[in-house]
């Protein structure tokens, strides 16, 4: 062990065991650099995090799991999971492997801070469901923990991490109400050609498409959708269009019910190439 790590071990020992020799502690602190202090802090944080995780696994008398559902927009035939977006609600359910889970006393913690939610929403007998709203900023991560205990003192615990996602949208070519081909970057059409472009939004803080504003822009200018459905754009290429020419199509989707929420939005872009 070199000099630096001897100092770190000494300071860590003081922090963990609360040795009441403050003058000696200060003398050693004065001898270490900021880098040493940072290493100590990282070591302490890592130790605490590991201990908490071990507490959630070790000593459990029964299995406890958490399942969740986000109340965000996904296509009706989507087989995946709806992800939580900005300010969306999530329902968490604790699943206990016991004969009578409703008899358990549940305690919920979100980000280890419970001061903004009190009383029966956080703790109570049979409170196996917990509702929460995500923060506004995308990529923000929530840490959720739940503890359950029966009348005999047997306990279980579980934890999970939830991240706020960004809404997304994708283009598809649709023919006779059937869509199979997704459009990633470009679309090739001939002069006088036609195409119907389907929009499929994901993870907006909405229950249906009615709350979405569709703003189409062709070569930078706003283009009105002449179709009967707001999520399908009929596209017609002029007969005089020259092969080799390009146009750009852009869609901006906004939550019309939360106009001030700049994070509940999505965009998609494609290039249209005229071919022979």
Confidence label for 33 from pLDDT (cuts 50, 70 and 90): low
Distance between first and last Cα of the chain: 74
Nearest-CA neighbor of 204 among 259, 266, 252? 266
The encoded tokens of residue 15 equal: 């922090």
The encoded tokens of residue 269 equal: 């872009």
Beta-bridge partners for 124: 106
CA–CA separation, 146 vs 60, rounded Å?
A: 12
Per residue in 219-230, pLDDT tens? 999 988 988 899
Nearest-CA neighbor of 65 among 159, 197, 188? 159
CA–CA separation, 133 vs 182, rounded Å?
A: 32
Q: Is the pLDDT of residue 24 over 70?
A: no
Beta-bridge partners for 266: 253
CA–CA separation, 235 vs 124, rounded Å?
A: 57
Per residue in 135-174, pLDDT tens? 888 988 888 999 999 999 999 999 999 999 999 999 998 8
CA–CA separation, 26 vs 11, rounded Å?
A: 10
Do residues 86 and 164 lie in contact, with contact meaning Cβ atoms separated by under 8 Å? yes
Per residue in 184-204, pLDDT tens? 788 999 999 999 999 999 999
Q: What is the pTM of this model?
A: 0.72
Do residues 224 and 233 lie in contact, with contact meaning Cβ atoms separated by under 8 Å? no
Query: What is the CB neighbour count within 10 angstroms for residue 112?
Result: 9
> DSSP label at 169?
E
Residue 34 has a pLDDT of 52
Minimum mean pLDDT range among 1-15, 52-66, 250-264: 1-15
């Amino acid at each position: 062990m070199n000099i630096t790590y001897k100092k770190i071990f000494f300071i860590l020992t003081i922090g963990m065991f609360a040795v009441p020799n403050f003058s000696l502690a200060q003398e050693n602190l004065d001898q270490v650099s900021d880098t040493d202090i940072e290493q100590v802090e990282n070591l302490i944080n890592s130790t605490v995090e590991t201990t908490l995780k071990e507490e959630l696994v070790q000593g459990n008398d029964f299995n406890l799991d958490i399942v969740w559902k986000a109340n965000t927009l996904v296509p009706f035939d989507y087989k995946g999971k709806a992800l939580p977006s900005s300010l969306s609600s999530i329902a968490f359910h604790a699943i206990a492997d016991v004969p009578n889970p409703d008899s358990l006393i549940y305690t919920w913690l979100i980000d280890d801070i419970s001061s903004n939610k009190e009383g029966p929403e956080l703790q109570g007998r049979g409170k196996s469901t917990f509702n929460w709203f995500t923060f506004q900023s995308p990529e923000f991560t929530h840490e959720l923990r739940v503890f359950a205990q029966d009348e005999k003192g047997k306990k279980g615990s579980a934890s999970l991490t939830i991240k706020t996602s960004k809404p997304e949208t994708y283009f598809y070519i649709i023919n006779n109400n059937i869509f199979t081909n997704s459009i990633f970057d470009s679309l090739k059409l001939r002069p006088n050609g036609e195409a119907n472009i389907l929009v499929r939004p994901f993870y907006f803080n909405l229950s249906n498409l009615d709350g979405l504003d569709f703003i189409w822009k062709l070569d930078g200018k706003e283009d009105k959708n002449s179709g009967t459905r707001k999520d399908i754009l009929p596209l017609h290429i002029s007969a005089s269009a020259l092969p080799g020419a390009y146009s750009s199509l852009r869609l901006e989707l906004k939550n019309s019910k939360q106009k001030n929420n700049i994070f509940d939005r999505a965009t998609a872009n494609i290039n249209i190439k005229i071919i022979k």
